[in-house]
Amino acid sequence: MNSTPFPKQIAEYHGKVRDVYYIENEILVMIASDRISAFDVILPRPIPYKGQVLNQIAAYMLQKTTDICPNWLLETPAPNAALGKKCTPFKIEMVVRGNLVGHAWRTYNAGGRTLCGVTLPEGMAENDFFPTPIITPSTKASEGHDEDISKQEIISQGLASAEDWAVLEKYALALFARGKEIAAKQGLILVDTKYEFGKIGDTIYLMDEIHTPDSSRYFYADGFEERQTKKEKQKQLSKEFVREWLIENNFMGKEGQTVPTMTDEWIDTISKRYIELFEKVIGAPFKPEVKSNQETYQLICDSLGKY
């Protein structure tokens, strides 16, 4: 972003994918960059339009869930920028899983039948639906890997009170149900996702992004059952394909491992997959918008003037 601070800016934070600027009067400016991360490592090359895709899907989904819980977003002044209320975050991620995939499947396949204090049913195959969605929280690490944690540990460690946990659980499951409804209308299955929450005073707010390809996994509904019966890979929309490519090239973010070379063709493929996900999830064509850092900076300043 622009090296000039925003008006009344008091601090800034650069995450793996997002840059956050703290403004007086409890306002945040969040920039969704084109950086891409996997296994908690920022990969060496940016992905064109990724920031715009993430920012616009998140804004769309936040607007579609305001009846479930309050959220942080005030407006999106630029394609990859959002303005919102500053919350005091819970240092946990609420991971909701509808199907046995990813980390949950790797745990299950290795013989584990408990994940984050939740008992997993016997006799499941990869990608099968859970009887009902489950919550498998993780700690929100400022550096390094997020760690699995149980509801009991969250409460005992003071990461959330029992009262707050009950609200977080209710919100997370209701948001996931809404996400599945929205996805189903587009011929998709929302498989798993993560939510982040914070507080302003005593009120719990939904923060950050929701139902984007960085925070969620989607399967195509058409042919799902047939693929399950035949034990075939499910056709999915998420950034899991990037993780799979890294694993195939012997990279899982472990010490001593090197990120494989990302060719121009591979970067273009990732960008097109993000755009495909936008169009499938939103049900409208993606309109690429390219703004210079200076233009984005000015649009954000204009919006900040309202607050």
What confidence score (pLDDT) does residue 238 get? Answer: 80
Contact 47, 271 (CB under 8 A): yes
d(CA 84, CA 236): 31
What confidence score (pLDDT) does residue 4 get? Answer: 86
| Total Cβ atoms within 10 A of residue 269 | 14
3-state secondary structure of 84: strand
What confidence score (pLDDT) does residue 76 get? Answer: 97
What confidence score (pLDDT) does residue 240 get? Answer: 82
Give Cα 280 to chain centroid, integer Å.
17
Q: Evaluate whether residue 179 is within a structural domain.
A: yes
What confidence score (pLDDT) does residue 286 get? Answer: 97
Q: Evaluate whether residue 16 is within a structural domain.
A: no
Q: Where are the beta strands (DSSP E) in the chain?
A: 9-14, 18-23, 27-32, 37-38, 41-42, 73-78, 81-85, 88-89, 92-99, 114-115, 118-119, 129-135, 138-139, 188-200, 203-207, 216-220, 236-237
Q: Evaluate whether residue 186 is within a structural domain.
A: yes
Residue by residue, pLDDT tens for the chain (307 residues) are 667 899 999 999 998 899 999 999 899 999 999 999 998 899 999 999 999 999 999 999 999 999 999 999 999 999 999 999 999 999 999 999 999 999 999 999 999 999 999 999 999 999 999 999 999 999 986 665 679 999 999 999 999 999 999 999 999 999 999 999 999 999 999 999 999 999 999 999 999 999 998 899 999 999 999 999 999 999 988 888 898 999 999 999 999 999 999 999 999 999 999 999 899 999 999 999 989 999 999 999 999 999 9
Range of the domain at 102: 89-237
What confidence score (pLDDT) does residue 306 get? Answer: 92
Instruction: Give me the half-sphere count of Cα atoms (radius 13 Å) on the Cβ side of residue 249.
Output: 12
What confidence score (pLDDT) does residue 2 get? Answer: 60
3-state secondary structure of 99: strand
Q: Evaluate whether residue 184 is within a structural domain.
A: yes
DSSP 129: E
18, 295, 288, 39 alpha-carbon torsion, rounded to 10°: -10
- CATH number (domain holding residue 170): 3.30.470.20
∠3-286-22 over CA atoms, to 5°?
30
d(CA 98, CA 131): 8
**DSSP for 234-289, written as a single string:** PPEESTHHHHHHHHHTT-SS-TT--PPP--HHHHHHHHHHHHHHHHHHHSS-----
d(CA 150, CA 240): 24
Q: Evaluate whether residue 231 is within a structural domain.
A: yes
Q: Evaluate whether residue 214 is within a structural domain.
A: yes
**Number of domains observed in the structure of the chain:** 1
d(CA 195, CA 92): 9
Contact 234, 227 (CB under 8 A): yes
Q: Evaluate whether residue 248 is within a structural domain.
A: no
Q: Nearest CA to 104 among 119, 89, 93?
A: 119
Burial of residue 22, with CB atoms counted within 10 A of its CB: 0-12 exposed, 13-18 middle, 19 or more buried: middle
Q: Evaluate whether residue 284 is within a structural domain.
A: no
